[in-house]
Amino acid sequence: MILTLTPNPALDRTLMIPALRPGEVHRATQTLVTAGGKGLNVARALKTLGGSPLAMGLLGGYHGRLLADYAAAEAMEAVWTWTAAETRTCVILAPENQDATVINEPGPIISADVWAQWTTDVVRMADQAQAVCLCGSLPPGCPDEAPADLITAVKRTGCQVWVDTSGPPLQTAMRARPDGVKVNVFEAAELLGQSAPPLAAERVTWAHTAVLRLRQMGVRTVVLTLGDQGAVLANDDGIWWGQPPPIRVVSSVGSGDAFLAGLLQALAGAESGPGMLRQAVAAGSANAMSVGGGTLSLAHVLQLSEKVTVAVLA
């Protein structure tokens, strides 16, 4: 079982429109409402890949109950920690022939006591898990050391901890030395106090150096995603660059989450670094071929995995 943690879940409302023209009235051709947030997207993708995820998150109010109902309708196994604060709603505008635009609410303010209760709930379930992934933003009101304290508490159970967040929560999480971290170019650059390379052609070389420096912070496995250039993975055994084949992008929303799901599913299957990277790149690419975070076709994943190229970086 893989435990996916979403401290700041959202009721995702995706509106499909012919085109996005600022300042004009738009009429949706289709609407998709789902239980959203990065950890829930990871859980959704893991189910498609044949995994056994358990989703956990902080929910509250009418939208929280509605989100729980949507998750249950997908047969998504979940354990919720309930709060008095109303769960946020996020809007995704998905025009034809153009990548989606996402509008995220900040999330409800929660107390330190609520975070402490959630930590207790997570540790109780982590004792039964193969891996735990902490995903996405934190709701306002969380203690400054919340990510590090949670990671430290979970690591005491002997369970592997992966992190996929950004900004100050990522910086705090790194101090607790998680087993694995997934970052994009901009998140890695911020961690290292650098500017992201402006040219796409420079990013693989830059990523090679960046993953080595991030491993020096005490993280055993570092994965740095590069969008349509794939990703670089570094662990104790080496460094690899995985490149996807060309695809038609419908919506990239949730592709990083599907990527992490592919990585964790391969890790649970005892795949090596190249095998983890191949499945992760295929899953992230498959997600971009459809609308909905963590929504992907297993057939697409299998087809794409045969076309992903994985090269050793010296």
- For the question of residue 257 being annotated catalytic, the response is yes
Q: Exposed, middle or buried by CB within 10 Å (0-12, 13-18, 19+), for 306?
A: exposed
Distance of CA 155 to the CA centre of its chain: 20
Query: CA–CA separation, 12 vs 32, rounded Å?
Result: 8
- Catalytically active residues are 257
